[in-house]
Structure 1
């Protein structure tokens, strides 16, 4: 399989595709904030939660979810909230259809949010390595200049099999090859454009992973709208399985 040369450089900078494929799961403790949740009429706290994603298929969990003993379990065709013994508290099949007609401020129920959390965290944890899958279409796009640095860009067309923010997403890499910025449209919330900045990398078992994520709305000039901060995610305790 041939990987786009610029993507190959980025994958090597993050620890290498061969090393990444040695692992099956990635877990981290996350603390989430930002103004987006209030826009969706969702209560957000600063309690730490544990997220685990599958690195081979689209599957993710988040614990705790709503109750200390509950866990959200995401796949593209089903979202569920389960008790500690596996009892289904709530579930929804074909969960993407439940967002039809939604805008940025349309209220969400717990299953809406669980689905959003699931696909978003799965995408974030697997980037940029998922871009090497053969059914992605990858092309170089215009770079952006940030504080005297050039961040080279790759545009990605996601295959239909993957539930994610939007079919077309852009990824920008710093001079060291590490991912710095991730742009997309939030289709489940009216399709607004977002800029997602990643930083503060750590190395875990040879893989470089960002511990700080900040998402903002994107203006017509392609720059972040710094107010409000839409979503913040701080990550610790990465563990591969």
Structure 2
């Protein structure tokens, strides 16, 4: 494994500890401009999210009103009612975003797809670096706000559904994530700079509790506004 990738994984608790668990649940509060722009203001302002660790799936519960629940898998989205009965489905969901721009509204299943790939990626990072087919390359260091961060370019294989094929991680001297860059392919390749902070220890693994996503410029710098998405996480629980 790439030396920097190994350092990052170890700093977050180590691959052996992560592999003891099959899923993670957390309480989720979200804000930012994206949700209203996509036609879903309030739907996921406060909810719970469960993601598979390793296996790619995620669920938001509740998903909006009436006790609905989402179920994301790369090849299928399902929205269920409060009794677990499917009320909306979308097969081959990524193909449904063809031609989308940042301003294109989403259907509920499309919202569930975006939220699913986002939270699965975020909560499995950095342990995704150890998955088969993931390629890592260390880049030149980056200076921001008086700090120097190491950078890792990550290229994902086609069988992992995530924001973009190529992403960049920024880490401090201890190997903890500070920033995560990607281009949201399903929203016209919109570029984001995703800052993480507020680390806590959860059953031997380290997770950030605060995430703030801002626009990213071509030179790699980020804008301080608008706030595209804010994510605050609490009540983490790992499940065997």
Between the aligned partners of 1:189 and 1:113, the Cα distance in structure 2 is 11
User: 1:48 — aligned with what?
Assistant: 46
> Counterparts in 2 of 1:171-182, with a 5 A limit?
171-182=169-180
Moved over 2 A (4+): 44-48
User: How far apart in 1 are the matches of 2:216 and 2:46?
Assistant: 28
User: Hey, what does 1:103 align to over in structure 2?
Assistant: 101
Give, in angstroms, the shift of residue 88 of structure 1.
0.3
Does the 8 Å contact 1:59/1:118 carry over to 2?
Answer: yes
Whether the 8 Å CA contact 2:59–2:116 is kept in 1: the answer is yes
Distance 1:28 1:114 in 2: 17
Normalized against structure 2, the TM-score is what? 0.97
The one of 78, 81, 91 equivalent to 1:80 is 78
Deviation at 1:221, TM superposition (A): 2.3
Aligned 8 A contact 1:149 1:175 in 2: no
Contact 1:32 1:45 in 2 (8 A): no
Q: Equivalent residue of 2:68, what SS?
A: strand
> Deviations along 1:159-191, whole A, 9 cap, x unmatched?
100111010001111112101110000111110
Name the structure 2 match of 1:13: 11
Cα drift, residue 46 of structure 1: 7.4
- Structure-2 residue corresponding to 1:120: 118
Asked whether the 8 Å contact 2:78–2:90 carries over to 1, the reply is: yes
Q: Secondary structure at the match of 2:211?
A: strand
Residues in 2 aligned to 1:36 and 1:129: alpha-carbon distance in whole angstroms: 27
1:157 and 2:152 correspond: no
**Which of 209, 212, 219 is 2:217 aligned to?**
219
- Flag structure 1 segments of 5+ consecutive residues without an equivalent: none
2:191 to 190, 193, 201: 193
The whole-number CA distance in structure 1 between the counterparts of 2:44 and 2:190 is 25
Equivalent-residue separation in structure 1 for 2:162 and 2:103 (angstroms): 19
Following superposition, the deviation at residue 45 of structure 1 comes to 6.0
**SS, match of residue 100 in structure 2:** coil
| Alpha-carbon shift at residue 47 of structure 1 (Å) | 4.5
3-state SS, counterpart of residue 67 of structure 2? strand
Do 1:33 and 1:45's aligned partners in 2 also have CA atoms closer than 8 Å?
Answer: no
- TM-score (normalizing by structure 1): 0.96
In the TM superposition, residue 117 of structure 1 has moved relative to its aligned partner by: 0.2
Question: 2:64, 2:33 → 1: CA distance?
Answer: 19
